[in-house]
Structure 1
């Protein structure tokens, strides 16, 4: 299964914030959409990503004010991204190894979507279920064995 398959099912909506927005505005947008991260973009260019973890570690635990701090001050600017043609196993490996939960999807350096760890896990489960169902059908029909 490919990243494109996930996006085809969940949609290609891209929620983002701009670097000059406040962290408070960003967190409010995340809450409104019940998501854990936002891309940081300017003029359709991906500049970074900001997550609930960034808010916790760089605002709350450092005693900063979210209404005064700009997104650009705490965003992660070295973004790990994938392509629509990448396999979901690669996504799972990246997310596990890098301890991240969201991957922007780029096609020729243009953002075309975002996938989360939840999206990847659902896709893996669906893929495994389909494989199990196919094997059960194969077994139930005699495995193609002709007597």
Structure 2
């Protein structure tokens, strides 16, 4: 299964903030949308990503105020991305090794979507279910093809 397959099912809606917006605005938007991260976009270019974890580690635990801190001061600016043609196994490997939960999807340097660890796990489960159903059908028909 490819990243494109996930985006085809979940959609390509992109939620973002600008680097100059306050962290409070970003966190409020995440809460409203019930998501864990936002892309940080300047014009139409991806310049970073901000997550709930960034808020916890760089605002709360450092005693800073989210109202007075711009997103640009706490965002991750070296964003790990994938392409629509990438396999979901690569996504799982990146997310596990880099300890991240969101991957922007770029096609010719343009953001075309975002996938989360939940999206990847769901896709893996669906793929495995399909394989199991095929194997069960194979066994039920005696290992041959139905007439």
What corresponds to 1:76 in structure 2? 76
**Shift >6 Å, 4+ stretches:** none
Aligned pairs for 1:88-107 within 5 A: 88-107=88-107
Distance 1:60 1:120 in 2: 29
Alignment match, 2:28: 28
Per the alignment, residue 122 of structure 1 pairs with: 122
Q: Give the alignment of 1:1-147 within 5 angstroms.
A: 1-144=1-144
Structure-2-length-normalised TM-score: 0.98
Q: Distance in 2 between matches of 1:29 and 1:39?
A: 12
Q: Where does structure 1 lack aligned partners over 5 or more consecutive residues?
A: none
Alpha-carbon separation, structure 2, partners of 1:50 and 1:12: 18
Q: CA deviation at 1:144?
A: 1.1
* Coordinate RMSD, CA, aligned: 1.1
SS in 1 for 2:48: strand
CA deviation profile, 1:11-49 (whole Å, cap 9, x unmatched): 000000000000000000000000000000011100000
Return 5+ residue gaps in structure 2 as ranges: none
Q: How many residues align?
A: 146
User: Which string of whole-angstrom CA distances, capped at 9 and with x for unpartnered residues, describes residues 92-136 of structure 1?
Assistant: 000000000000000000000000000000000000000000000
| Distance in 2 of aligned mates of 1:142 and 1:109 | 50
In the alignment, the residues of structure 2 paired with residue 12 and residue 127 of structure 1 have an alpha-carbon distance, to the nearest angstrom, of: 21
